[in-house]
Structure 1
């Protein structure tokens, strides 16, 4: 009987050491990586530069609204612009980095910030269509911040948020948050660049994550949450679940021992 008991003790010790702890679950902990008593975090986000397949919402206003109607195919009444409407009526950046704008034709916008796109469209409108006295006003926005979340989260899928800036914690919360069995210390972000895709890593349990250039997501980001190694070995998410697993193992070992002994 000594060997089975030894096996059970070793298994219990292993499972107990594999329990998911508070440190595994809490976001933005102070791990001494931010050298500031007030924990003032300096953001490192940079203005987003538009890419191929991005959809832009462009609105042109002037003193005479009839002159601008041709430039505004998407209805903005009451501020209600649906994603489907933007898909069909927004301005999609083609493979050459251009948008096709009424009257003006093709305008190259690839790699420009939203503010730079606004300035360029306004400049072209003044050069080709309006006079300075028209007092035109151009507003450019991304047609929603679209991203993908998969892995150990509450709900996987492709999501869209109508905000100018979204950090990764907000994005994950919108997908049901990371499960207790998800690895918050090494979340992967697959980001699109003009020359291809790159994978970045961020530790969301460390407050220093707020200083990461990947803390704020960008359009078309893919967020991957890996499972903890503890999940792979079958340890429970809570102490109760772990004890239940231990009790089951102990019961099987004892039953097997007496069954073999009585043969």
Structure 2
């Protein structure tokens, strides 16, 4: 009787240990057990400073479109460009940190923000080619917000979103969500900086993660979602799966026992 009870306790223990608790699956929980509503102020993202291999979309407009046509590589009236079109028609930052703009020539942009580049181009145009009456209007944007995500995620790979700011939650939602075996408590963000690569883990089950400077992504960030230990055990993700696995193993063990010792 004691052996049977011991086996039952062992099976129940394995069953509970192998299951993934609900608290490990819910995003942005309040961990302080407070029942009062608290306002979480997300940290504002810092302006992105350009790096090599970034692709820029630069548009120059004026009252008379013919005056600025020579500064464009394509027809600026064209709408709804695809991602590939933006790549081939955009201005890529080379290894020296420069872009080549028609007529204006090479412009060093490495380490500058988009607003700083826009002001530099406007200043050069007004100083060398136009007067204020031409009403020059310059727009400088990244040709899409690009990031790469890998690991326990619905859809891995390099993604591009056409918006100014992207949070880690938006990036995950755009990639098919983290799988049930993904570790939401330690999502790693790898970020290239002028001094090297920075790595930081985010606990997406904690609402205070919104205060982290890594909550807002930067272009070219790499996101890695590591697996939970339950995946390596192979016993199952839910209680039913774990029970089925244990039952199967018990049946196999019983069959082997009878074949070896009952003949």
TM-score, normalised relative to structure 2: 0.92
**Offset of 1:18 from its aligned partner?**
2.3
Supply the distance in 2 between the matched residues of 1:80 and 1:86 (Cα, whole angstroms).
10
Paired position in structure 1 for 2:64: 64
Is the CA contact 1:185–1:205 (under 8 Å) kept in the aligned structure 2? yes
Q: Deviations over 1:15-62 (max 9, x none)?
A: 32221111111111111299x843232324111111111001010111
Paired position in structure 1 for 2:52: 52
Supply the distance in 2 between the matched residues of 1:187 and 1:21 (Cα, whole angstroms).
18
Is the CA contact 2:57–2:140 (under 8 Å) kept in the aligned structure 1? yes
- Mean CA deviation greater in 181-190 or 234-243: 234-243
Paired position in structure 2 for 1:225: 225
Is the CA contact 2:184–2:205 (under 8 Å) kept in the aligned structure 1? yes
Supply the distance in 1 between the matched residues of 2:143 and 2:10 (Cα, whole angstroms).
56
Supply the distance in 2 between the matched residues of 1:52 and 1:127 (Cα, whole angstroms).
28
Is the CA contact 2:73–2:102 (under 8 Å) kept in the aligned structure 1? no
Paired position in structure 2 for 1:73: 73
SS state of the match for residue 79, structure 1?
coil
Paired position in structure 2 for 1:196: 196
Paired position in structure 2 for 1:116: 116
Question: May I ask how many residue pairs the two structures share in their alignment?
Answer: 263
Supply the distance in 2 between the matched residues of 1:112 and 1:243 (Cα, whole angstroms).
57
Supply the distance in 2 between the matched residues of 1:103 and 1:134 (Cα, whole angstroms).
17
Supply the distance in 1 between the matched residues of 2:141 and 2:41 (Cα, whole angstroms).
27
**1:42 and 2:42 are equivalent in the alignment:** yes
Which 5+ residue runs of structure 2 have no aligned equivalent? none
**Offset of 1:5 from its aligned partner?**
7.3
Task: Report the CA distance shift for 1:163/1:75 in structure 2 as closer, same or farther (over 3 A).
Answer: farther
Task: Report the CA distance shift for 1:183/1:111 in structure 2 as closer, same or farther (over 3 A).
Answer: same
**Offset of 1:90 from its aligned partner?**
0.7
TM-score, normalised relative to structure 1: 0.92
Supply the distance in 2 between the matched residues of 1:33 and 1:69 (Cα, whole angstroms).
61
Paired position in structure 2 for 1:87: 87
Is the CA contact 2:18–2:237 (under 8 Å) kept in the aligned structure 1? no
Which 5+ residue runs of structure 1 have no aligned equivalent? none
State the superposition RMSD in angstroms.
2.2
SS state of the match for residue 186, structure 1?
strand
